[in-house]
Amino acid sequence: MQTLEQIKARLEAGVPGAQIQIVPNAGPANQPSLLIDAGHALPAARLLRDDAEYRFDYASNVTGVDWPAKVTKEKIKIKRVVAGLEKEVEETVEKNSPAYLEAVYHLYSMARKEGPLVLRLRTENRADKVTLPSLTPIWRSCEFQEREVFDLFGIVFEGHPDLRRILMWDGFVDHPMRKDYVAPTQEVAA
Protein backbone atom coordinates (compact mmCIF):
# COMPACT_ATOMS: atom_id res chain seq x y z
CA MET A 1 0.00 0.00 0.00
CA GLN A 2 1.22 3.50 -0.74
CA THR A 3 2.10 5.83 2.12
CA LEU A 4 -0.48 8.29 3.43
CA GLU A 5 1.58 11.12 1.97
CA GLN A 6 1.36 9.53 -1.49
CA ILE A 7 -2.39 8.89 -1.16
CA LYS A 8 -2.91 12.48 0.06
CA ALA A 9 -0.96 13.88 -2.92
CA ARG A 10 -2.96 11.72 -5.37
CA LEU A 11 -6.27 12.83 -3.84
CA GLU A 12 -5.25 16.49 -3.98
CA ALA A 13 -4.31 16.09 -7.66
CA GLY A 14 -7.44 14.10 -8.52
CA VAL A 15 -9.92 16.20 -6.53
CA PRO A 16 -9.08 19.89 -7.14
CA GLY A 17 -9.73 22.11 -4.15
CA ALA A 18 -9.87 19.25 -1.64
CA GLN A 19 -8.46 20.08 1.77
CA ILE A 20 -6.78 16.98 3.12
CA GLN A 21 -4.70 16.59 6.27
CA ILE A 22 -2.83 13.69 7.76
CA VAL A 23 -3.99 13.21 11.35
CA PRO A 24 -1.40 11.46 13.55
CA ASN A 25 -2.52 8.91 16.12
CA ALA A 26 -0.49 8.83 19.31
CA GLY A 27 -2.40 5.79 20.59
CA PRO A 28 -1.06 2.24 20.76
CA ALA A 29 -2.19 1.47 17.19
CA ASN A 30 -0.20 4.45 15.88
CA GLN A 31 -2.41 4.45 12.79
CA PRO A 32 -2.55 7.91 11.19
CA SER A 33 -5.58 8.84 9.11
CA LEU A 34 -6.67 11.23 6.38
CA LEU A 35 -9.02 14.08 7.25
CA ILE A 36 -10.99 15.17 4.17
CA ASP A 37 -13.15 18.28 4.04
CA ALA A 38 -16.85 17.45 3.80
CA GLY A 39 -17.34 19.34 0.54
CA HIS A 40 -14.94 17.03 -1.32
CA ALA A 41 -15.59 13.76 0.52
CA LEU A 42 -17.74 12.13 -2.18
CA PRO A 43 -15.36 12.72 -5.11
CA ALA A 44 -12.39 11.70 -2.93
CA ALA A 45 -14.19 8.50 -1.87
CA ARG A 46 -15.12 7.75 -5.49
CA LEU A 47 -11.48 8.17 -6.53
CA LEU A 48 -10.30 5.84 -3.75
CA ARG A 49 -12.82 3.21 -4.83
CA ASP A 50 -12.45 3.51 -8.62
CA ASP A 51 -8.76 4.36 -9.18
CA ALA A 52 -6.84 1.25 -10.31
CA GLU A 53 -3.94 2.17 -7.98
CA TYR A 54 -6.17 1.97 -4.90
CA ARG A 55 -9.44 0.08 -5.49
CA PHE A 56 -10.63 0.56 -1.90
CA ASP A 57 -13.77 -1.46 -2.53
CA TYR A 58 -14.87 -2.23 1.03
CA ALA A 59 -15.70 -0.02 4.03
CA SER A 60 -15.44 -2.37 6.99
CA ASN A 61 -16.74 0.00 9.61
CA VAL A 62 -17.93 3.52 10.31
CA THR A 63 -17.89 5.04 13.75
CA GLY A 64 -18.50 8.39 15.37
CA VAL A 65 -16.35 10.45 17.71
CA ASP A 66 -17.46 13.38 19.86
CA TRP A 67 -14.80 16.02 20.41
CA PRO A 68 -16.03 18.63 22.93
CA ALA A 69 -14.41 22.06 23.05
CA LYS A 70 -11.23 22.16 25.08
CA VAL A 71 -8.58 24.56 26.23
CA THR A 72 -4.98 23.41 26.19
CA LYS A 73 -1.99 25.18 27.67
CA GLU A 74 1.25 25.32 25.75
CA LYS A 75 4.60 26.73 26.83
CA ILE A 76 6.35 28.87 24.25
CA LYS A 77 9.59 30.80 24.29
CA ILE A 78 9.57 34.46 23.31
CA LYS A 79 12.13 37.23 23.37
CA ARG A 80 11.51 40.05 25.84
CA VAL A 81 13.46 43.00 27.12
CA VAL A 82 14.05 42.41 30.82
CA ALA A 83 16.04 45.02 32.82
CA GLY A 84 17.36 46.52 29.58
CA LEU A 85 18.55 43.17 28.18
CA GLU A 86 16.87 41.03 25.58
CA LYS A 87 16.19 37.59 27.03
CA GLU A 88 14.33 34.50 25.96
CA VAL A 89 11.53 33.82 28.44
CA GLU A 90 8.95 31.07 28.66
CA GLU A 91 5.24 31.91 28.65
CA THR A 92 2.14 29.79 28.88
CA VAL A 93 -0.40 30.33 26.11
CA GLU A 94 -3.93 28.96 26.05
CA LYS A 95 -5.25 27.44 22.82
CA ASN A 96 -8.98 26.95 22.27
CA SER A 97 -10.06 23.92 20.24
CA PRO A 98 -13.66 24.12 19.00
CA ALA A 99 -16.12 21.27 19.47
CA TYR A 100 -17.00 18.99 16.55
CA LEU A 101 -18.15 15.50 15.64
CA GLU A 102 -16.29 13.07 13.39
CA ALA A 103 -17.25 10.12 11.23
CA VAL A 104 -14.38 7.65 10.85
CA TYR A 105 -14.29 5.13 7.98
CA HIS A 106 -11.96 2.11 7.71
CA LEU A 107 -11.39 1.16 4.07
CA TYR A 108 -9.88 -1.96 2.54
CA SER A 109 -9.00 -3.07 -0.95
CA MET A 110 -10.20 -6.66 -1.18
CA ALA A 111 -8.95 -6.78 -4.77
CA ARG A 112 -5.43 -5.70 -3.81
CA LYS A 113 -5.46 -7.18 -0.27
CA GLU A 114 -4.51 -3.81 1.29
CA GLY A 115 -5.72 -1.70 4.15
CA PRO A 116 -6.92 -0.30 6.30
CA LEU A 117 -6.99 3.27 5.11
CA VAL A 118 -8.66 5.42 7.75
CA LEU A 119 -10.71 8.42 6.56
CA ARG A 120 -12.15 11.11 8.81
CA LEU A 121 -14.90 13.63 8.06
CA ARG A 122 -15.60 16.48 10.53
CA THR A 123 -18.70 18.52 11.19
CA GLU A 124 -18.40 22.29 11.59
CA ASN A 125 -19.51 22.06 15.22
CA ARG A 126 -21.53 19.75 17.45
CA ALA A 127 -24.59 21.96 17.94
CA ASP A 128 -26.33 22.95 14.72
CA LYS A 129 -23.88 22.30 11.86
CA VAL A 130 -23.68 18.52 12.11
CA THR A 131 -24.19 17.51 8.47
CA LEU A 132 -21.75 15.37 6.48
CA PRO A 133 -22.17 13.69 3.11
CA SER A 134 -23.17 10.03 3.24
CA LEU A 135 -20.61 7.65 1.77
CA THR A 136 -23.27 4.94 1.40
CA PRO A 137 -23.59 5.71 -2.35
CA ILE A 138 -19.89 4.77 -2.66
CA TRP A 139 -19.74 1.86 -0.20
CA ARG A 140 -23.08 0.14 0.46
CA SER A 141 -21.65 -1.36 3.67
CA CYS A 142 -21.84 2.12 5.28
CA GLU A 143 -25.66 2.20 5.32
CA PHE A 144 -26.45 0.67 8.74
CA GLN A 145 -23.30 2.03 10.34
CA GLU A 146 -24.03 5.63 9.29
CA ARG A 147 -27.53 5.15 10.73
CA GLU A 148 -25.95 4.04 14.01
CA VAL A 149 -23.64 7.10 14.06
CA PHE A 150 -26.65 9.32 13.31
CA ASP A 151 -28.64 7.73 16.12
CA LEU A 152 -25.93 7.73 18.79
CA PHE A 153 -23.93 10.89 17.92
CA GLY A 154 -26.33 13.04 15.90
CA ILE A 155 -24.36 13.38 12.66
CA VAL A 156 -26.82 13.93 9.80
CA PHE A 157 -25.61 12.10 6.68
CA GLU A 158 -26.87 14.04 3.67
CA GLY A 159 -27.78 11.76 0.77
CA HIS A 160 -28.24 8.66 2.94
CA PRO A 161 -30.96 6.42 1.46
CA ASP A 162 -32.71 5.64 4.77
CA LEU A 163 -31.48 7.88 7.59
CA ARG A 164 -33.56 7.04 10.66
CA ARG A 165 -32.90 5.75 14.14
CA ILE A 166 -31.64 2.20 14.33
CA LEU A 167 -30.99 1.62 18.07
CA MET A 168 -33.06 4.20 19.94
CA TRP A 169 -36.82 4.58 19.58
CA ASP A 170 -38.31 7.27 17.34
CA GLY A 171 -39.36 9.55 20.21
CA PHE A 172 -35.88 9.61 21.76
CA VAL A 173 -34.61 13.19 21.62
CA ASP A 174 -30.89 12.95 22.42
CA HIS A 175 -27.71 11.18 21.30
CA PRO A 176 -26.44 8.84 24.04
CA MET A 177 -22.82 8.51 22.88
CA ARG A 178 -22.08 12.22 23.17
CA LYS A 179 -19.77 13.02 26.03
CA ASP A 180 -22.19 15.50 27.59
CA TYR A 181 -25.16 13.11 27.48
CA VAL A 182 -27.10 12.88 30.73
CA ALA A 183 -29.41 9.90 31.11
CA PRO A 184 -32.94 10.78 32.19
CA THR A 185 -33.70 10.02 35.81
CA GLN A 186 -35.97 7.09 36.46
CA GLU A 187 -38.45 6.96 39.27
CA VAL A 188 -38.35 3.72 41.20
CA ALA A 189 -41.70 2.34 42.26
CA ALA A 190 -41.90 1.86 46.03
Identify the pLDDT of residue 30: 82
Identify the pLDDT of residue 29: 80
pTM for the whole structure: 0.85
Residue 28 lies in a domain: yes
The vertex-123 CA angle with 137 and 140, nearest 5°, equals 15
Residue 182 lies in a domain: no
What digits encode the pLDDT tens for the residues 129-182?
999 999 999 999 999 999 999 999 999 999 999 999 999 998 898 999 999 998
Identify the pLDDT of residue 173: 87
Identify the pLDDT of residue 185: 75
Q: Which domain holds residue 131?
A: 4-67+100-158
Q: What is the CATH number of the domain that holds 9?
A: 3.30.460.80
Identify the pLDDT of residue 188: 58
Identify the pLDDT of residue 151: 97
Residue 57 lies in a domain: yes
Residue 80 lies in a domain: no
Q: CA 39 to CA 43: how far, in whole Å?
A: 9
Residue 185 lies in a domain: no
Residue 181 lies in a domain: no
Residue 24: phi, psi to the nearest 5?
-70, 160
- Helix (H), strand (E) counts: the chain: 3, 9
Residue 21 lies in a domain: yes
| Helix H or strand E segment including 143 | helix 143-153
Total count of domains within the chain? 1
Q: CA 2 to CA 13: how far, in whole Å?
A: 15
Residue 149 lies in a domain: yes
What digits encode the pLDDT tens for the residues 32-87?
999 999 999 999 999 999 999 999 999 999 999 999 998 888 888 888 887 888 88
Using DSSP bridges, classify how beta strands 156-158 and 33-36 pair: parallel, antiparallel or unpaired.
unpaired
